[in-house]
Amino acid sequence: MRIDIITVLPELLESPLNHSILKRAQDKNLAEIVVHNLRDYTLDKHRRVDDYPFGGEAGMVMQIEPIDRAISYLKSQRNYDEVIFTTPDGEKFDQRMANNLSMSGNLIFLCGHYKGIDYRIREHLITREVTIGDYVLTGGELAAAIMCDAIVRLIPGAIGDEQSALSDSFQDNLLAPPVYTRPAEYKGWKVPDILLSGHQRKIDEWKHDQALERTRRLRPDLLDE
């Protein structure tokens, strides 16, 4: 899978995309993530990417030309499954969307900034508009990094133990059960006896009960879905 990210702040993406699972997946050639500075697709000497809005509102608006040039260039190199715009007024990103997108060949993320982007970009160049939650970030870069992380870790081989992606919280609309490791007792705080019993069927039942209980208590909305 290849992910191209178009941004005015490439530095903001450097660290999150080059550590941990995202780094490992790229080292193993499971994913290639390429960050593009939108200013490289401008033609004027000031490398301008925004301008005042028509109709006289406050704030700057990202211009269509550099974005069209960047997306057209990428599309001339390969086919893309989606051109995703990160924006607070998009559809909500969740585990299901991460699962679907992880099966893509190639994706483009366009990170929003300023007051907005020329709406013609959204009408003509973007295939999907996505938010990571009902709050407003300064720009779409961190949202794109979060989505890349959630998507790439699902590619088979990206995390050591494939089973552990399948048992993540949300994979079956249940929160994950608690996990423990040694020591079995610390300051008098004990690991549940059942986990030390060696009785695998009972342990699995316990895990499922815990997952249900935590979901009911913390995220009952997941059980309604």
Q: How many Cβ atoms sit within 10 Å of the Cβ of residue 88?
A: 15
Smallest separation (angstroms) from ligand ADE to the CB of 223: 25
Q: Of the candidates 59, 105, 133, 178, which one interacts with ligand ADE according to CB under 6 A?
A: 133
Which residue lies nearer to ligand ADE by CB, 53 or 212?
53
Following CA atoms 127, 129, 130, 131 in sequence, which dihedral angle do they give, to the nearest 10 degrees?
A: 170
Per CB under 6 A, contacts with ligand ADE among 84-113 are: 86-88, 112
Looking at residue 123, what DSSP letter applies? H
Which residue lies nearer to ligand ADE by CB, 10 or 112?
112
Q: Which stretch binds ligand ADE (CB under 6 A): 3-11, 15-23, 68-76, 126-134?
A: 126-134
Smallest separation (angstroms) from ligand ADE to the CB of 88: 4
d(CA 94, CA 133): 9
Of the chain, the end-to-end C-alpha distance in Å amounts to: 30
Could you write out the DSSP letters of every residue in 159-184? SS-HHHHHTSTTTTSSPPPP---S-S
Rg (CA), the chain: 22
Task: Mark 138-157 with x for binding to ligand ADE (rule: CB under 6 A) and - for no binding.
Answer: --x--x--------------
Dihedral over Cα of 118, 122, 128, 131: its sign: positive
Smallest separation (angstroms) from ligand ADE to the CB of 132: 4
Q: Work out whether 53 is an interface residue with ligand ADE (CB under 6 A).
A: no
Q: Of the candidates 135, 179, 189, 198, which one interacts with ligand ADE according to CB under 6 A?
A: 135
